[in-house]
A = this chain, B = another copy of it.
Amino acid sequence: MRMPEPDAKTIARRARIARDLRRIVPGDGVIVDEDGLRAYECDGLSAYRQPPLIVALPSTTEQVSRVLRYCHENAVKIVPRGAGTSLSGGALPLADAVTLGLGKFNRILDIDLANRCVVAQPGVTNLAITQAVQAEGFYYAPDPSSQIACSIGGNVAENAGGVHCLKYGLTTNNLLGLEMVLMTGEVLRLGGKHLDAGDYDLMGVITGSEGLLGVITEVTVRILRAPETARVVLMGFPDNESAAATVAAIIAAGIIPAGLEMMDRPAIHAAEDFVHADYPLDVEALLICELDGPEAEVTHRIEQVESLARHHGVKTLRVSASDAERALFWAGRKAAFPAVGRISPDYYCMDGTIPRHALPTVLSRMAAMASHYGLRVANVFHAGDGNLHPLILFDANTPGELERAEQFGADILKLCVEVGGVLTGEHGVGVEKRDLMGEMFSEIDLMQQQRLKCAFDPGQLLNPGKVFPTLHRCAELGQMRMSGGSMPFPEIPRF
């Protein structure tokens, strides 16, 4: 597919901005040719594609600062991009915006074992941080399935999770410090190697802000000592309800597994066909429960988990006897997405979070929806923290199926909100769930979010069109005008 020809005005604007940016980012760091731009036309949500106006690839904080300041002064929109693995379209380009790629920020700057942290540039991959410290017996805990490719800066922007986040927290719980550049070009340093600082938690706001507040140029993360022992209990159940009840019982018993994942029948079969992880095929639901810690604790916890599972009618139960077997049990789970890709021409990966007790309800209502829409769904999820990843199977070449899949997905997310959960667990809102934000947040909630956005980017040049269903002009949010101490705030609901 060829790109549509840009109009004369766009061509002239592109040439002018590229010329200016080349004065800031030298060498081959500014891309304007069609093939070069096409490489950046989508991220992990590849149903949406749009080549950017220009791609800029700075390699220093100074360059990022000068690019942002230039764009700020000339009202040029900017879309920051890490490794481009976002599943919600967070790095989707705009036809009239510069995509700012952080790929050249690929160095680890400091390994500080005494303070148990690593300082890295944002383009370093998640896995590379663990690899840099594993010989010393340490690791970085959050482990998204894309960890071989996704960048730590993108992890911060999306507040990425992973199978080990139940016990060790999401990115936000493992982040100690940031350097970031504001849209004005100002450089902020937040946090450091110490714990909580005595100011507003800007670092918390930046984490998960999806590139709308600033561009991250350095990340300091906490690393953990690798546990003495880690073993996996693989449990097959005759139905989803008994698996869900076992999850609840494990958590209620005060056990926090290092990972507690659930797969339903379609996901089990797809994964087993693909990686031969030795999963039982005569069950409806599979739990993968990893316990880690001192040997004595792990042995004790495994006995408790076994006993709880038997109480809830487990059909097959196996404990990994070696690290190789543990890796095999995980391999099926970690390959579940591509495995499902083998059994369906297309699939759509959802990401919602629900309170744990609602698991059985949500699973049975999703099954009813699947039959309503005439589409199959495979479920793979972080059961321990209630984070669902339903995979809706469809064929984009069958007219109407994509639309039905999208409608089905929206219904699932609305259901998550209805039972007291949220629209997203770890994939972000991006463009994918933007129009569903109103299902979860009131007009007041969204306006306060946007007032905060205005405090960082009043010109609304950073990653526009993401997250918020409609973005008010900052002036409309009442921050701009003051008269006699009273502010023209929007109408407040009266009791």
Q: A187 at the A/B interface (Cβ < 8 Å)? A: yes
Q: How many residues of A contact B (CB 8 A)?
A: 109
Point out the residue from B113, B429, B459 that lies within 8 Å of A485, measured CB to CB.
Answer: B459
Within 8 A of B (CB), among A449-479: 449, 451-456, 458-459, 467, 474-475, 478-479
Complex CA gap A251/B184 in Å reads 41
Complex CA gap A26/B253 in Å reads 46
For A172, what are the chain B residues with a Cβ–Cβ distance below 8 Å? 196, 201, 204
Complex CA gap A296/B295 in Å reads 9
Interface locus among A68-76, A268-276, A367-375, A398-406: A68-76
Within 8 A of B (CB), among A339-356: 353-356
Q: Are B459 and A479 in contact, CB atoms less than 8 angstroms apart?
A: no
Q: A328 at the A/B interface (Cβ < 8 Å)? A: no
Q: A114: nearest residue on chain B (CB-CB)?
A: B357
Q: Are B194 and A251 in contact, CB atoms less than 8 angstroms apart?
A: no
Q: How far is the CB of A119 from chain B (nearest CB, A)?
A: 12
Please judge, given known A-B contacts A194-B421, A225-B254, A301-B294, whether A75 and B485 are in contact too, CB under 8 Å. Answer: yes
Within 8 A of B (CB), among A168-209: 170, 172-173, 182, 184-190, 192-202, 204-205, 207-209
Q: How far is the CB of A67 from chain B (nearest CB, A)?
A: 12
Interface locus among A27-35, A103-111, A142-150, A438-446: A438-446
Q: A487 at the A/B interface (Cβ < 8 Å)? A: yes
Copies of the polypeptide in the assembly: 2
Chain A interface (Cβ < 8 Å from any Cβ of B): 62, 65-66, 69, 72-75, 113-116, 159, 170, 172-173, 182, 184-190, 192-202, 204-205, 207-209, 213, 224-228, 248, 251-254, 293-297, 299-301, 353-357, 385-387, 420-426, 428-429, 433, 437, 440-442, 444-445, 448-449, 451-456, 458-459, 467, 474-475, 478-482, 484-487, 489, 492-493, 495
